[in-house]
A and B are shown apart, each in its own frame.
Chain A
Amino acid sequence: GESVGLHLPTLSVQEGDNSIINCAYSNSASDYFIWYKQESGKGPQFIIDIRSNMDKRQGQRVTVLLNKTVKHLSLQIAATQPGDSAVYFCAENRETGFQKLVFGTGTRLLVSP
């Protein structure tokens, strides 16, 4: 079936480096995408979202890029900090006017000081 997936299960970076977490999706009808951060023992926390009519959206130290041609989503974290260590999930919404998210399997980001 259609799914949202990730290329790398674990990403290790040094503090201060830029991190890029990738996500592939297969449903071309999805119109909304979200990145969540999940720290150990906690629930997922919203980071940034992007609609299908956009290619790029920037937040504080984070940027999401959407390439609809190849159905690819990425999360870029600038100047990665130890506090960024967590599991990151991409999710896509396949419903109109209602949030019904399908989540990827997650990528663990490990930041070394």
Chain B
Amino acid sequence: NAGVTQTPKFRVLKTGQSMTLLCAQDMNHEYMYWYRQDPGMGLRLIHYSVGEGTTAKGEVPDGYNVSRLKKQNFLLGLESAAPSQTSVYFCASAGVKGSGANVLTFGAGSRLTVL
């Protein structure tokens, strides 16, 4: 089992460029999340999904879009990157309560730099 896999691991963008971060999980988890981590800020929730075809806003959703077309994938898009979006992005997934897999499992992170 690979768990939660994020691609790419590193990316440098220029202001205004667009890109998509891909998250894939092979644990058949219902819930998926995108967090960003900045120095001294901990992890903040950007968007999340409670199932295939559903998405919802988290704490800091502005400037990001997401899609969950397949249960195993959760995509995070930046339509017009800004320097304030320089961060490390973490994807996580979790199973439903009572499944024994309700704890969030995180990917290794994607470091994004916007110049």
Contact = CB atoms under 8 A, between A and B. Distances in A.
Nearest to B35: A103
Contacts of B2: none
24 contacts: A34-B103, A34-B104, A41-B108, A41-B109, A43-B92, A43-B106, A43-B108, A43-B109, A44-B90, A44-B104, A46-B104, A46-B105, A89-B42, A89-B43, A98-B31, A99-B94, A99-B104, A100-B45, A100-B58, A103-B43, A103-B44, A105-B40, A105-B42, A106-B42
B102 A99 contact: yes
Interface string B72-113: 000000000000000000101010010000111111110000
Contact of B109 (A42, A49, A99, A100): A42
A18 interface: no
- Interface class of chain A by DSSP: loop
Interface residues of B, number: 25
A102 B44 CA distance: 7
Given A43-B92, A44-B106, A103-B43, 4 more contacts: A41-B109, A46-B105, A105-B40, A105-B42
**What 6 A-B pairs come out closest when comparing CB atoms?**
A43-B106, A103-B42, A103-B43, A105-B42, A99-B94, A44-B106
Given A99-B94, A105-B40, A105-B42, A42 B105 contact: no
A105 B107 CA distance: 19
A99 B31 contact: yes
B34 interface: no
Interface residues of A, number: 20
Most chain A CB within 10 A, of B4, B41, B103, B107, is at B103
Interface in B24-65: 31, 35, 40-45, 48, 50, 58-59
Nearest to A89: B42
Nearest to A3: B42
Contacts of A99: 31, 94, 102-104
A43 B97 contact: no
A49 B43 contact: no
Contact of B97 (A42, A89, A98): A98
